[in-house]
Homo-oligomer: A and B are copies of this chain.
């Protein structure tokens, strides 16, 4: 068959995308799982997939409050049931009242339900002690959709040295390289310093930017904090350096802060939002940086990846640009309503005195403490292996060990 679409005729940017997290190794793992199910004999009986932060897939339990609110919003007949606590019912009623036709089966506003956007703003305000304007918040199909829209908006659609440059960390989360390929952005690699617990220095950022001079139009820097896949929590001083660098070099800052609730030694390595650090630096900076901060239902103590809920807060964006972004988002109609419902339950959790409060606190703390234990075990186990070393996991859900190849192996490879 002589086809219209071939590798020669389709979008060349699509071919350039690489996405190892879901690539051939995962396909092979799925195949092996099937072979085990079919009774094939192997030297192991189970496949443990660690390719992605898929919390519930690896045994983490859901938070009862989140699921009770979503179940009530799904099937309002349950509002009559005595087994559901009063506060889950009041949250669900508020959500249903905010939905057109009182149904999660209707479309929401294309940026998300006003109720949820306002409660996200309250969550941010409480977190940082700084006002947040709900109209600068848009909800998305996971933080992923927000990242894709931002990197698409940044694209110049130009070629050669006219391409938009986007600085990303190495090691990185491959969504960033994949999306830069998709929109033909120029990837500018800056390297995290393994010897300094995956920190990054202004010198390295300068080096990276200087090295691509004339090859692209640098427009944005992506920071993942807590780090994916490196597990560090950035010190405040380092964040200030990044902000200065971004302002001095006219870059917008995309702050991937989806692991903000996965912090395992908060006394020693506390997590602070880029927004808070920016405001602490005073008006000479706070009004000068275009900042986009991302958050998600998929991580933290809730780990609701499948709901595809997330938000992005924009700060200091040109209102005309923001309007263009919001218009582009409207063509995809709206983010998944159940993701919005889950997000509402997360940014507006049970309060002291409410019926679900004690169970919520217990479940949340159990998950976070189990994750901390796993972080410690992973760190110790990796460092106890010969020819292996690893930095402590301060946050997120990942360890990035170094394998020290024995001299004989290197010689053999040569």
Residues of A within 8 A of B (CB): 1, 3-7, 9-15, 17, 19, 21-23, 30, 49, 52, 54-60, 62, 67-68, 70-71, 74-75, 78, 99-101, 103-110, 141-142, 144-145, 148, 152-157, 174-175, 178-179, 182-184, 219-220, 250-252, 287-288, 290, 302-308, 316-318, 320-321, 324-325, 327-328, 330-339
Check B320 against A7 for contact (C-beta < 8 Å): yes
Residues of B within 8 A of A318 (CB): 3, 5-7
The docked-state distance in angstroms from the alpha carbon of A251 to that of B9 is: 12
Check A4 against B338 for contact (C-beta < 8 Å): no
Residues of B within 8 A of A145 (CB): 332
Residue of B nearest to A338 (CB): B338
Residues of B within 8 A of A321 (CB): 3, 5-7, 10
Check B105 against A19 for contact (C-beta < 8 Å): no
Question: How many Å from the CB of A31 to the closest CB on chain B?
Answer: 12
Question: How many Å from the CB of A381 to the closest CB on chain B?
Answer: 22
Check B308 against A57 for contact (C-beta < 8 Å): no
The count of identical subunits is: 2
The docked-state distance in angstroms from the alpha carbon of A109 to that of B26 is: 10
Question: Which of the residues B22, B74, B182, B330 comes within 8 Å of A74, measured between beta carbons?
Answer: B74
Asked whether A106 and B1 contact (CB < 8 A) given A6-B321, A324-B15, A332-B144, the answer is no
Check B304 against A156 for contact (C-beta < 8 Å): no
Asked whether A103 and B57 contact (CB < 8 A) given A4-B251, A70-B74, the answer is yes
Residues of B within 8 A of A153 (CB): 5, 10-11, 14
Asked whether A105 and B157 contact (CB < 8 A) given A4-B250, A324-B10, A333-B144, the answer is no
Residues of B within 8 A of A330 (CB): 19, 21-23
Interface centre among A74, A174, A250, A334 (most CB of B within 10 A): A74
Asked whether A105 and B75 contact (CB < 8 A) given A4-B290, A327-B17, A338-B336, the answer is no
Residue of B nearest to A318 (CB): B3
Residues of B within 8 A of A175 (CB): 331
Interface centre among A75, A101, A306 (most CB of B within 10 A): A306
Check B317 against A3 for contact (C-beta < 8 Å): yes
Question: How many Å from the CB of A364 to the closest CB on chain B?
Answer: 15
The docked-state distance in angstroms from the alpha carbon of A74 to that of B1 is: 45
Residues of B within 8 A of A15 (CB): 324
Check A157 against B109 for contact (C-beta < 8 Å): no
- Other CB < 8 Å A-B pairs besides A4-B251, A6-B318, A78-B78, 9 of them? A14-B325, A19-B330, A22-B331, A56-B106, A57-B107, A62-B105, A68-B75, A106-B305, A336-B338
